[in-house]
Chains A and B, each alone.
Chain A
C-alpha cells in the first residue's frame, strides 16, 4: 500500500511528444482510472509508472520515493496486461509463484499465498493447468492472481477487460472493484471504456492528446466536465454540443441554430456580447415540450423503457435525445432544453465557463 505522485511527467518518442506534462496525486488505497481514446497516452503513462518506459522529464514517486532510474523489478508494482501475458510454459501455480520465488520466499509461504489468492479468485481448481488450457476469463483471473500474491505497493491494470466478451467483462469489472476495495491496494486502471471508468474509479483521469483534461470523481466529471472533450467523452450517448453566442449582459445565450434564447439560471457569464460559446446538454436532459428546439428526427432506437432519438437541427447540427417510453416516430418534433441542465463552454478553447467567470 502506498501513495503515487506524478510530477509534470513528459514523454516523447523521438520527436513525437506523447505526454505533455501530467500531474497526479493518488492517495493510499485509491483506485484511479485513466480513460481516453486510443493514442491519448494513457498506456504510456501507465508504462512509465511501471518502469517499462522512461519518462523524458518529470518524476514518478511511489510511497514518496523517487523512481528515477529504477528498473521495473525494483518498484514493487504488479501489472495486469490486456493480453494476460501469462508465462505459457508454466502451470497456473508456477505463474503465480514466479514473482515470489524470485523474492526468495520459503516454499510453504509461497504455497499459502498462492492458495489464498487462488481461493479469492475462484481458480483453486486450475492451479495445475497450463495457460493454453484456460478460457479468456480464467486467464485474466490468473493474471490478477499473479498480481495479488505479490502484495505490491501498486496495482497497474492495462485494459485488462478489453479482450473479454461483454458478459464476462461486467462480471470481472465488479470482481476487480471488490478485490481492490478488500485488499486496499492503490491502483491505476487504464481503459478506453467510459462505463468501466465510471464504475471502477474513485477518481478518473480523462486524457486527451497527452494531457490530463480533467481529474475528478466520476460524478463530478459527469456533472461538471472541464471542457468539451470531457463532456463529449463521458456519458452515453454523448452530450449534445451546440454553438451559441453570449447575449449582451451575459445572462443568456442565443443559439446559432434557430436563435433560441437560453437563460443561465446559475448566474451570468463574463464576456462581451457575441462571445462564441458552446452549449452542452445531455441527451437524457432534453424533454418533449413547446418553445424549444425544432428537430427533424431521422432515427429512433427503442431500448425498451426509453428511446434514443437521432435527429438534426434546421442548420444540420446533429442532436441526440434520450426520452422515456418507446412510442416515437421519425419526423419533426420540438424538444425543450431545461436551462438548469445547460453546460457552458468557451466556443474557442472549449473550456468550461462557470457563472461569474
Chain B
C-alpha cells in the first residue's frame, strides 16, 4: 500500500470530516437518542416523561411476544443466511468454470444487489401474489392452497426467499473472488493425487473458502437481522398476525405505530448490542483462524 504523509494535522482531519460527520449524524446521534430513550417512559403524546432505569429492558425480556419474535428472527436469519450462502456458493462454483458467456452470467448475478428492498419485494409480489402473481396463480391452479396473506408459514417462506435473493449477489462476488484466489496448481495437484471433482471441492476448495464463508455468515446474519425491514414491510407488514414480525420489524411497530418509545428504544439497544457482539466475534475469528 502506498502511504501518503501529510504535513501538519489540519488537512487529514479536514479530509476525515465528511465521513465523521455522516457517522455522527446518522449513527452516534440516533444511537445516543435510543440509549437515552430506553431509560425513559413517555406517554404517546410526549407530554410527560419519567426516568425508569432498566425497567423497559426488563419488560421487553419478560414479554412472551418479544421472545416469540426473537425465536422467529433466529429462524428467519438462519434460513436467509443458509439459503443466500448456499445458492451463492453453488453459483460461484459454476461461474468459476470455463463456460461460455461467463461474463454475462456474472453481471446478471450481481444485479439483484442493486435492486432496492421495496422493489425486490414488489418483484416477488408480482410472482407470488395469489391473484395476480404468475407462480401464485399457477400454484392455486395446481390445487395448492397458496396465499401468503393468510398462511403464516407461506408468508415466512416468501420473506425468507425475497431477503435471501437480494443477498445472493453480495455473497456471490465474495465467493467468486475466494475461488479465484485458490491457486490452480493446488487443484491440479489434488487431481493428480487422485481426487475427483466432488472430493476436491470438499477437501480442498471448501476448507480454503471457509474464512470467506465465515465472514459472509456474519455479514448475512447482520443483514437478516437489521436490513430486511424494507422487504418485510413491503411484502407482509409483519403479518399475517405476527407470523413475519422479526425483532427489527417489532422495533418499528412498537415505536412508530404504537408510539411506545421507551420499549422500542430498549429493543433497538438490545439489537445494537447484538450487532456489536457479532462484529467482535468476526474480528476475533478472522484474526486467528485464517489458516493459510
Contacts and interface: CB of A to CB of B under 8 A. Distances in A.
Given A130-B292, A132-B292, A85 B183 contact: yes
A85 B292 contact: no
Interface stretch (B97-105, B127-135, B188-196, B267-275): B188-196
Given A98-B193, A99-B194, A103-B194, A72 B188 contact: yes
Contacts, number: 68
Nearest to B184: A85
A79 B292 contact: no
A199 B194 CA distance: 31
Given A72-B191, A98-B193, A102-B199, A85 B185 contact: yes
Nearest to A156: B192
Determine the main DSSP class of A at the interface with B.
loop
A102 B195 contact: yes
A81 B185 contact: yes
B207 interface: yes
A52 B189 contact: no
A154 B195 CA distance: 17
Given A83-B185, A85-B185, A73 B207 contact: no
A71 interface: yes
Interface string A92-113: 0000001100110000000000
Contacts of B207: 89
Given A89-B208, A132-B292, A83 B191 contact: no
Interface in B265-292: 291-292
Contact of A88 (B193, B195, B196, B292): B292
B188 A85 contact: yes
Contact of B291 (A75, A98, A130): A130
Contacts of B186: 85-88
A141 interface: no
Contacts of B195: 73, 98, 102
Contacts of A150: 193
B217 to A, nearest CB: 18
B123 interface: no
Interface in B112-164: none
Contact of B189 (A71, A85, A102, A132): A85
Contacts of A78: 192-193
Interface residues of A, number: 27
Given A86-B186, A89-B292, A71 B208 contact: no
From A52, A78, A85, name the one whose CB has the most chain B CB atoms within 10 angstroms.
Answer: A85
B70 interface: no
Contacts of B190: 87, 98
A150 B191 CA distance: 13
A87 to B, nearest CB: 6
Interface in B77-115: none
Contacts of B196: 71, 73
A89 B191 contact: no
B60 interface: no
Contacts of A86: 186, 189
A50 interface: yes
A102 B194 contact: yes
B204 interface: yes
Given A81-B185, A88-B186, A102-B199, A146 B291 contact: no
Interface in A293-351: none
Contacts of B185: 81-83, 85
Contact of A146 (B188, B193, B203, B208): B193
A301 B207 CA distance: 54
Contacts of A99: 193-194
Contact of B192 (A79, A130, A131): A79
A215 interface: no
A150 B192 CA distance: 10
Given A85-B185, A86-B189, A98-B195, 7 more contacts: A86-B186, A88-B291, A89-B292, A99-B193, A102-B195, A131-B292, A146-B189
A-B pairs, top 6 by smallest CB distance, nearest first, are A88-B292, A99-B193, A85-B185, A85-B189, A102-B194, A73-B194
Interface of B: 183, 185-186, 188-196, 199, 203-204, 207-208, 291-292
8 contacts: A52-B188, A79-B188, A79-B192, A83-B183, A85-B188, A87-B189, A88-B292, A102-B195
